[in-house]
């Protein structure tokens, strides 16, 4: 993988080859050159924003910005004890950074300035990371291609005609093009792993409850998790360690210790039981993806692990359950965008009701409207039992399928996405075809499990990246990171 990693920068700082400021500036320069063709970033920061964590507090006005820069230059080049000292990152534009514009890829939040830092941002700041900017995404993280962004699609750095995947497509493209060292994304049904697969990088979605969503703009609250996109598994593990943990500001976070994942990556683990669900290898999976996945599985076998076929009998129902539950939660979460307190507000309204109707009509894009409509229908009087309740019961069946499989195996593997990156515009007229992109990632969010996508080479037909999906037991990020890391060394 080209460009800097956390480790390479740490070594460079230790040897005094460059300063954090020089690295930051070189990334900003590169972004300004490359971003016009990729559209990976929606906004790029001045140096002062990223350096605020250690430098003097930023106050308005040029002079003080200048001062904070000078202070930063004057700092020693030696790395501090901070784990992410001087590591430049990109943040998906649905995660709040205080006093910066956060759009969530939507026109309705085009000018919205975040009032506070998300918990993950606070943690990254205190670990010494610097922030390059905010990355493009499908509107409110709803999509699989980043074509649903109100600010234009992001292009795949491997082939500019193709999508980068989604919804965290901007974050994935930024890492693949080395426009940041690591990035944060959010994953509701695959939005970290699928773009990571399509851009040929590592993406991990931790267990539901592992990372605080405080300051993440909510899409479907019983699914949303923040995840990490990076160039290798080791970087992913290091960042995930920093952002994980219980948070009083998100009552769905679980009070469990965060293990030292990055220290344990090389620990020996021969003889792991690796499950391959037979349902993953059926119609819809492209030949070139299957080829790569089979190759990875045989590598794992050669590395001394036991491969075992398992079954997820309710796999075929997962996508249908997801597309009832998620729009239902979306219709509720997006009700807050009403043109009253923040965000786009219509100028045409004569009364309060018209303010709601017109502001939402003018501000939301087609996919948001589609899901709001679908969710409102599913939750409306007379339909709740048939759709929402039925889907929650099917969700229980899917969770049980995984529980049963994990009695027999330690991890489950397969493809991250059924095909490699498709052409921009190719599927945009067919919402259902786009939904099918998530067929392998969605069941994991229904069950709340951790999963990682590892790049495993280019497809023989499209010459585009393929992602290998490694799924773990709840709160066992350790095993999937270790399998990913050790397989990474062997691909």
Partner 1 sequence: MLTDNEVSHIAKLARLELNETEKEKFKKELSAILDYVETLNKADTSNVEPLMQVTGLVNSVREDESRGIEYKPEFLIGQAPESKNNLVKVKAILKK
| Residue 308 or 369 having the CB closest to partner 1 | 369
Beta bridge partners of 467: 455
Residue (424 or 474) nearer to partner 1, CB: 474
* Cis status, amide bond into 167, omega within 30 of 0: yes
Rounded least distance, CB 398 to partner 1, Å: 8
Decide if 153 contacts 145 (C-beta within 8 A).
Answer: yes
Contact between 403 and partner 1 by CB under 8 A: the answer reads no
Scanning 14-22, 62-70, 257-265, 316-324 for contacts with partner 1 by CB under 8 A, the matching segment is: 316-324
| Pair of tokens at residue 438 | 């998530």
Asked if 356 is part of the footprint of partner 1 (rule: CB under 8 A), the reply reads yes
The footprint of partner 1 on this chain (CB under 8 A) covers a number of residues equal to 67
Handedness of CA 276, 281, 286, 292 (dihedral sign): positive
Residues 6+ apart with CB under 8 A from 242: 83, 84, 123, 124, 127
Residue 177 · residue 445 · CB < 8 Å: no
Q: How far is the CB of 347 from partner 1 (least distance, A)?
A: 9
Which of 338, 401, 477, 488: binder of partner 1 (CB under 8 A)? Answer: 338
Choice between 160 and 361, CB closer to partner 1: 361
- Cβ at position 445, least distance to partner 1 in Å: 9
Kindly write out the interface string for residues 42-81 of this chain, putting x where it contacts partner 1 by CB under 8 A and - elsewhere.
----------------------------------------
Task: Examine the residue annotation and report whether 106 is marked as an active-site residue of this protein.
Answer: no
Q: Which residues sit opposite 216 in a β-bridge? A: 95
- Residue in 420, 456, 405 with CA at minimum distance from that of residue 276: 405
Q: Which of 191, 212, 359, 419 is catalytic?
A: 191
Q: Are 331 and 372 in contact (CB under 8 A)?
A: yes
By CB under 8 A, the residues from 17 to 46 that bind partner 1 are none
Stretch of residues binding partner 1 (CB under 8 A), selected from 140-148, 233-241, 314-322, 456-464? 314-322
Stretch that binds partner 1, among 167-175, 285-293, 370-378, 465-473 (CB under 8 A): 370-378
Of 118, 230, 391, 464, the one binding partner 1 by CB under 8 A: 391
For residue 275, which of 477, 481, 471, 480 has the smallest C-alpha distance?
471
d(CA 285, CA 277): 13
Among 113, 170, 105, 91, residue whose Cα is nearest residue 363:
105
Q: Is 417 in the site for partner 1 (CB under 8 A)?
A: no
Q: Nearest 5°: CA angle at 411, between 415 and 167?
A: 40
Count the helix, strand and coil residues of the chain and give each as a percent rounded to the nearest 5. Answer: 40, 15, 45
Choose, by CB under 8 A, the member of 393, 403, 489, 490 that binds partner 1.
Answer: 393
> Of 316, 403, 404, 408, which lies in the binding site for partner 1, with binding defined by CB under 8 A?
316
Burial of 44 (0-12, 13-18, 19+ CB in 10 A): middle
User: 6-39 in b/e burial notation, b at 16+ Cβ within 10 A?
Assistant: beebbebbeeeebbbbebbeebbebbeebbeebb
Q: Which two tokens stand for residue 431?
A: 């919402």
Among 259, 370, 426, 457, binds partner 1 (CB under 8 A): 370
CB of 394 to partner 1, least distance (A): 5
Shortest distance in whole angstroms from residue 449 CB to partner 1: 8
Six token digits for residue 235:
């970087």
- Say how many C-beta atoms besides its own lie within 10 A of residue 251's C-beta: 9
User: x-or-dash pattern for partner 1, window 202-241, by CB under 8 A?
Assistant: ------xx------------x-------------------
Residues 467-486 that bind partner 1 (CB under 8 A): 474
List, in sequence order, the alpha helices (H) in 334-365. Answer: 352-363
Rounded Cα distance, 212 and 438, in Å:
23
Q: Which is nearer to partner 1, 288 or 338 (CB)?
A: 338
Out of 112, 261, 422, 440, point to the residue binding partner 1 (CB under 8 A). 112
Among the listed ranges 138-146, 275-283, 295-303, 333-341, the one in contact with partner 1 (CB under 8 A) is 333-341
Verify binding: residue 281, partner 1, rule CB under 8 A: no
- 92 a catalytic residue: yes
Write out the two tokens for 87.
């590591």
Q: Which is nearer to partner 1, 99 or 426 (CB)?
A: 99
Contact between 311 and partner 1 per CB under 8 A: no
- Confirm or reject binding of residue 261 to partner 1 (CB under 8 A): no
Decide: 203 and 227 in contact? Cβ < 8 Å: yes
Please answer whether residues 325 and 222 qualify as being in contact, where contact means their C-beta atoms are separated by less than 8 angstroms: yes
6 contributes a contact to partner 1 by CB under 8 A: no
**Is 453 in a helix, a strand, or coil?**
strand
Instruction: Take residue 436 and report the two structure tokens written for it.
Output: 């099918």
Examine the residue annotation and report whether 191 is marked as an active-site residue of this protein: yes
Does 308 sit near partner 1 (CB under 8 A)? no
Site for partner 1, rule CB under 8 A:
99, 112-116, 208-209, 222, 248, 251-252, 254, 314, 316-317, 320-321, 323-324, 331, 335, 338-343, 345, 349-358, 360-361, 364, 369-370, 372-374, 376-377, 380, 387, 389-397, 399, 431-432, 435, 447-448, 474
Active site residues: 92, 167, 191
């Amino acid at each position: 993988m080209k460009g800097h990693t956390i480790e390479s920068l740490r070594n460079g700082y230790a040897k005094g080859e460059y300063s954090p400021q020089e690295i930051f500036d070189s990334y900003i320069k590169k972004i300004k050159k490359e971003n016009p063709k990729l559209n990976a970033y929606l906004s790029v920061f001045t140096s002062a924003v990223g350096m605020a964590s250690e430098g003097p507090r930023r106050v308005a006005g040029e002079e003080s910005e200048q001062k904070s820069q000078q202070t930063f230059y004057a700092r020693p080049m030696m790395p501090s004890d901070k784990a992410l000292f001087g590591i430049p990152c990109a943040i998906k534009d649905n995660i709040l950074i205080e006093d910066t514009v956060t759009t969530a890829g939507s026109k309705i939040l085009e000018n919205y300035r975040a009032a506070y830092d998300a918990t993950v941002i606070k943690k990254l700041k205190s670990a010494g990371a610097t922030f390059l900017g905010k990355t493009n995404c499908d509107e409110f993280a709803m999509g699989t291609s980043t074509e649903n962004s109100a600010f234009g699609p992001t292009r795949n750095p491997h082939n500019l005609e193709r999508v980068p995947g989604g919804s965290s497509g901007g974050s994935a493209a930024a890492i693949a093009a080395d426009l940041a060292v690591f990035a944060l994304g959010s994953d509701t049904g695959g939005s970290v792993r699928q773009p990571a697969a399509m851009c040929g990088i590592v993406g991990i979605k931790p267990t539901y409850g592992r990372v605080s969503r405080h300051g993440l703009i909510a899409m479907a609250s019983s699914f949303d998790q923040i995840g990490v996109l990076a160039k290798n598994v080791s970087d992913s593990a290091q960042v995930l360690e920093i952002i994980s943990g219980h948070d009083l500001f998100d009552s769905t976070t679980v009070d469990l210790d965060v293990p030292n994942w990055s220290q344990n990556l090389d620990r020996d683990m021969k003889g792991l039981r690796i499950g391959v669900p037979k349902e993953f290898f059926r119609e819809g999976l492209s030949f070139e993806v299957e080829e790569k996945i089979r190759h990875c599985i045989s590598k794992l076998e050669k590395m001394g692990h036991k491969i075992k076929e398992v079954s997820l009998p309710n796999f075929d129902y997962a996508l249908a359950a997801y597309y009832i539950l998620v729009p239902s939660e979306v219709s509720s979460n997006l009700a807050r965008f009403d043109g009253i307190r923040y965000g786009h507000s219509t100028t045409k309204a004569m009364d309060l009701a018209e303010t709601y109707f017109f502001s939402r009509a003018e501000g939301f894009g087609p996919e948001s409207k589609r899901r709001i409509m679908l969710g409102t229908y599913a939750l409306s009087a007379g339909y709740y039992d048939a759709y929402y309740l039925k889907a929650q019961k099917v969700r229980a069946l899917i969770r049980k399928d995984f529980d049963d499989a994990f009695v027999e195996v330690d991890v489950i593997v397969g493809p991250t996405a059924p095909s490699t990156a498709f052409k921009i515009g190719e599927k945009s007229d067919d919402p259902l075809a786009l939904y099918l992109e998530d067929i392998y990632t969605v069941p994991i969010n229904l069950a709340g499990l951790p999963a990682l996508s590892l790049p495993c080479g280019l497809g023989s037909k499209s010459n585009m990246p393929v992602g290998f999906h490694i799924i773990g037991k709840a709160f066992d990020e350790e095993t999937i990171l270790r399998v990913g890391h050790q397989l990474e060394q062997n691909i």
